[in-house]
Amino acid sequence: MPQLPAFDVMTATCPSRTSLARIANKWTAMVVIALSAGQMRFRDLRSAVDGISAKVLTETLRDLERDGIVTRHVYAEVPPRVEYELTALGHTLHAPLQALGRWAEDHITEVLAAREAYDARQ
Amino acid sequence: MPQLPAFDVMTATCPSRTSLARIANKWTAMVVIALSAGQMRFRDLRSAVDGISAKVLTETLRDLERDGIVTRHVYAEVPPRVEYELTALGHTLHAPLQALGRWAEDHITEVLAAREAYDARQ
DNA sequence: CAGAATCCCACTCGATACTG
DNA sequence: CAGTATCGAGTGGGATTCTG
């Protein structure tokens, strides 16, 4: 058995795992990637992250705000305007998540081929 | 509204999103990180990825195998021995996922502080 | 040992309708 | 516009038991 690197996140009781569970999430990844371009309002985020429902976007943003990754700016206007922005902490998360998104795109052909081969064997 | 990078994965119909959904997952991340050290058998993976159930580990490994990220080697022995290994494709996924795990560990203090502050406001 | 099978709960997520 | 409320289908994931 190979030597494993000491990695706290692999321990069930370590709080960093709750954080990993949040950031290792497709919606989180897409929202953070979208926000990396700069401040955006709710409706623009919704169209940037194609297919996300208002409910899930709201919940995702709340969780990211709670974890200090996103800030919420409410402007007292009519109609209401709410803008979301990455915090400094949020910006440090962009590179890792962007890398994940890039991997998905760069290797989709191989993944699809592997799936087809696997399913053909069954 | 900021200029968004053209990113296929942000499109709901793009197949790369199904791939992102698989890799942006806490169990996937921990399994791939564990396997990056080399070939491992089922039971060792189970203890490396603390807290994962046999069922979820089996399903995660099946999905990763289907996507061409992991290979499964069955040895005709008694008792049975099954080893899992990252493919070449799987190895390209290690760096991004390791970066995510490191982020979770490196920033857990800030995240916990943000949570506490957020919850105190409610 | 490495799983398969089963049961079941909790949570995710989408759709729809409504509100400030 | 930016949500909230509610409902319901689907999925994730744990516990337990059984098998080759």
Distance from CA of A20 to the nearest CA of B (A): 5
Residue B113's CB is within 10 A of a number of other CB atoms, namely: 11
Q: Has residue A3 got a pLDDT over 80?
A: no
How much of chain B exceeds pLDDT 70, in percent?
94
Residues 6+ apart with CB under 8 A from B88: none
Phi-psi category of residue B74: left, alpha or beta, with phi > 0 → left and psi -120 to 50 → alpha: beta
Contact map slice: A 31-90 vs B, CB within 8 A = 33-34, 37-41, 44, 48-51, 65-69, 89
For range B5-28, the mean pLDDT:
90
pTM above 0.85, yes or no: yes
Chain D footprint positions (protein CB, under 7 Å): 1-6, 12-17, 20
Closest C-alpha among B87, B101, B85 to residue B35: B85
Residue contact A7–B33, C-beta within 8 A: yes
B71 or B6, which is more confident: B71
A21 or B121, which is more confident: A21
Which of the four pLDDT bands, split at 50, 70 and 90, describes residue A13? confident
pLDDT digits (tens, 9 = 90+) for B22-41: 999 999 999 999 999 999 99
Residue contact B37–A104, C-beta within 8 A: no
The structure tokens listed for A56 are: 């899930």
Please give the pLDDT value at position A122.
67
Q: Has residue A7 got a pLDDT over 90?
A: no
Closest C-alpha among B118, B16, B10, B23 to residue B70: B23
How many angstroms separate the CA atoms of B117 and B85, rounded?
42
Please give the pLDDT value at position B77.
87
For range A10-18, the mean pLDDT:
91
3-class SS at A93? helix
Q: Has residue B15 got a pLDDT over 80?
A: yes
B interface test, pick of A110, A119, A121, A122 with most B CB neighbours within 10 Å: A110
Q: Has residue A62 got a pLDDT over 80?
A: yes
How many angstroms separate the CA atoms of A101 and A34, rounded?
11
Closest C-alpha among A44, A20, A41 to residue A93: A20
For range A9-27, the mean pLDDT:
94
Q: Which helix (H) or strand (E) segment is B85 a member of?
A: strand B81-86
Residue B50's CB is within 10 A of a number of other CB atoms, namely: 14
pLDDT digits (tens, 9 = 90+) for A26-38: 999 999 999 999 9
pLDDT digits (tens, 9 = 90+) for B111-121: 999 999 999 98
Closest Cβ opposite residue A7 in set B4, B20, B101: B101
Least confident of A5-9, A85-89, B73-77: A5-9
Least confident of A118-122, B95-99, B114-118: A118-122
Residue contact A68–B96, C-beta within 8 A: no
Longest dimension (CA), chain A: 63
CB B72 within 8 A of CB B1: no
